[in-house]
Amino acid sequence: MAPSPRIEYRLIEGECFGDWQEDRPRPAHLGLGQILRRMLWNPAWNEQLYLVSCAERLIEAPSQHSVDEINLRVARQLPPGPQTLQFRLVFLSREGMRMVKLVEYESRPVSLSALQEAAT
């Protein structure tokens, strides 16, 4: 079984490139109550599964639809601003004792405010 792609994004303002950040990182720990509640109701996880599906399709058969869906859903999670948004798809794998990150796709930067307007 191949690893699922992870989505990372960064904000760019002028010539200043922000650091890459993981989109919707998984929590380090969940309590029993949180686990039980998530088994019954977890729309955030459903959206995360959809994003993984879009990312996998983007690697296998690139389409503008997958790019647009990832851009829109990442932008919805960010505060408004004049920056541009860029995302990339990375795969993590273990080689011996170390983790290796392989970047498989990097999007073109797009206007964050335009994405957020389209999302409303």
In this prediction, the residues of the chain whose per-residue pLDDT falls under 50 are none
Q: Rounded to an integer, what distance in angstroms lies between the CA atom of residue 9 and that of residue 61?
A: 21
Q: What is the pLDDT of residue 85?
A: 96
Q: Rounded to an integer, what distance in angstroms lies between the CA atom of residue 37 and that of residue 60?
A: 34
Q: Is the pTM of this model over 0.85?
A: no
* Strand-pair partners of 86: 10
Q: What is the pLDDT of residue 81?
A: 86
What's the chain's average pLDDT? 86
Q: What is the pLDDT of residue 48?
A: 84
